[in-house]
Amino acid sequence: MHISEGVLSPPVLVAGWGLAVGGIALGLKKTKTENLPRCAMVSAVLFLASLVHVPLGPSSIHLTLLGLAGILLGRSAIPALFIALLLQGLLFQFGGLLSLGVNTVVMGTAAISAYGIYQVCPKKLRFAAAFIAGFLAVITGSVLVVTSLSLSNMNLMTAAALVFAANLPLAAVEGLITGFIVIFLAKTYPRAINLSGTL
């Protein structure tokens, strides 16, 4: 879901950086000191999950685990995502440094939406809630990628549609992975998925 360097228009890049800085500041403000190890762990997992990726036009598809990041971190997911994306850009040229702001907004918004979905669902439907959160996080991110590309250049609509279509099966896989991990954590470490009041 990384948008490559040189694809987005300057206004979209500037808007992306503005929103990303605001989201990172808000996420840092909401991050409690005792949750820093959790943020670091999730950031590392997000970094590793993207190492196996498939280039697809101006973007790429790979496991994102955005739903899981949102469920585990709430707003703190945004700075955690930023660090993971920054390292991916610096070390492997996934995405780019100029497009880092937009990529952070795309993935951060997807993670926050997953957190919101998970929190409003009844806890007795924990697996279904986590599946929906993981599934819709990928869909949300894909829609935002398509929007960013189309706002930059309408000629990218074909590539944007391809990216969206390719992410549909990924969304189902992410939903299942998120559901199983959340069920496992609920049994072994319930505090990890109890962030009420942090968003």
What residues contact 142, with CB distance under 8 A and at least 6 apart?
Answer: 1, 163, 164, 167, 171
Question: Can you give the pLDDT at residue 198?
Answer: 46
Looking at 12-16, 60-64, 81-85, which range is the least confident one? 60-64
Question: Can you give the pLDDT at residue 55?
Answer: 63
Specify the residue for token string 């360097």.
5
CB neighbours (10 Å) of residue 73? 29
Distance CA 37, CA 191 (A): 14
Query: For the whole model, what pTM was predicted?
Result: 0.85
Span 115-174, pLDDT tens digits: 999 988 887 888 999 999 999 999 999 889 888 888 887 776 777 777 788 778 889 989
Which whole number is the average pLDDT over 77-104? 88
pLDDT greater than 80 at residue 194: no
Query: Would you state the structure tokens that stand for residue 10, as one six-digit string?
Result: 């300057």
Question: Can you give the pLDDT at residue 108?
Answer: 93
Confidence of residue 1 (pLDDT cuts 50, 70, 90): low
Question: Can you give the pLDDT at residue 59?
Answer: 55
Distance CA 82, CA 94 (A): 13
Which whole number is the average pLDDT over 178-184? 93
Helices (H), 31-156: 36-49, 66-73, 77-92, 100-120, 126-152
Q: In percent, how much of the chain has pLDDT > 90?
A: 41
